[in-house]
Amino acid sequence: MRLLLVEDEPTLRAQLRAGLQAAGYAVDEAGDGREAQFLGDTEAYDAVVLDLGLPLLDGLSVLKRWRDGGRALPVLILTARDNWSEKVAGIDAGADDYLTKPFHMEELLARLRGLIRRAAGQASPVLRCGDVALDTRSGRVTRGGQAVALTSHEYKLLDYLMHRPGAVVSRGELTEHLYAQDFDRDSNTIEVFVGRLRKKLPPGLIETVRGRGYRLAAPVSP
């Protein structure tokens, strides 16, 4: 999953980036409102962490512009302590959730997992397809109750697909959502990871849809 982190305070931004990356997210950053708006308009994000007090263009205006432009991406706003009116304005402007500074990284991560899950129409933190289960909290994957050891790349790929069972996901979409902007992207690597993942999962779980991409489907027993 790929996130946009918008925070003008460099120390806090670096801390948040490190925490988000450690949790497996690909992270793009913006330090002002204009850059944030541009990135949110042009790149594919699974969620945005948006500070409200920003130079050039404030966070609330950025959010309003995204929503006016039909951008539905999940947005979590960071608000100042003891400023209830900011929370109300933020939610009314289209924010999906908020956190008051200072906050614990664990809480931010839990809220992001929830936002991403709900945006994909998933209510449970444990995603299932056939006898494969992926626990978004622990990052554990099981097959028939038995643990499956995945590399972080394999996990990220499966996580993205498990959030969208039955949907056709192109290689381009996977590349966009699994790598940050500054990453040297090559959609051929996706094929390699899909190949490795298939060897560890039930046959038929990840279907190839010719010319379009991949689809996660519960395999039908012969």
| Residues in touch with Ca ion (CB under 5 A) | 8, 51, 53
List strands edge to edge, sheet with 206-209.
168-169, 213-216, 206-209
Residue with Cβ nearer Ca ion (9 or 131): 9
User: Rounded distance, CA 140 to CA 40, Å?
Assistant: 30
In whole angstroms, how close is the CB of 68 to Ca ion at the nearest point? Answer: 22
CA dihedral defined by 42, 44, 49, 51, rounded to 10 degrees?
A: 0
Element (H, E) at 197: helix 187-200
Residue with Cβ nearer Ca ion (8 or 131): 8
Residue with Cβ nearer Ca ion (51 or 173): 51
In whole angstroms, how close is the CB of 191 to Ca ion at the nearest point? Answer: 41
Whose CB is nearest to Ca ion? Answer: 53
Cα 144 versus chain centre, distance: 26
In whole angstroms, how close is the CB of 190 to Ca ion at the nearest point? Answer: 36
Residue with Cβ nearer Ca ion (53 or 219): 53
CB 64 within 8 A of CB 40: no
User: Rounded distance, CA 173 to CA 182, Å?
Assistant: 16
In whole angstroms, how close is the CB of 79 to Ca ion at the nearest point? Answer: 10
Preceding peptide of 102 cis, ω within 30°: yes
Q: Where do the DSSP E strands lie in the chain?
A: 2-6, 26-30, 47-51, 75-79, 97-100, 126-129, 132-135, 140-143, 146-148, 168-169, 206-209, 213-216
In whole angstroms, how close is the CB of 78 to Ca ion at the nearest point? Answer: 8
Residue with Cβ nearer Ca ion (56 or 126): 56
Residue with Cβ nearer Ca ion (57 or 119): 57
In whole angstroms, how close is the CB of 8 to Ca ion at the nearest point? Answer: 5
Name 120's Cβ contacts closer than 8 Å, sequence gap at least 6.
163, 164
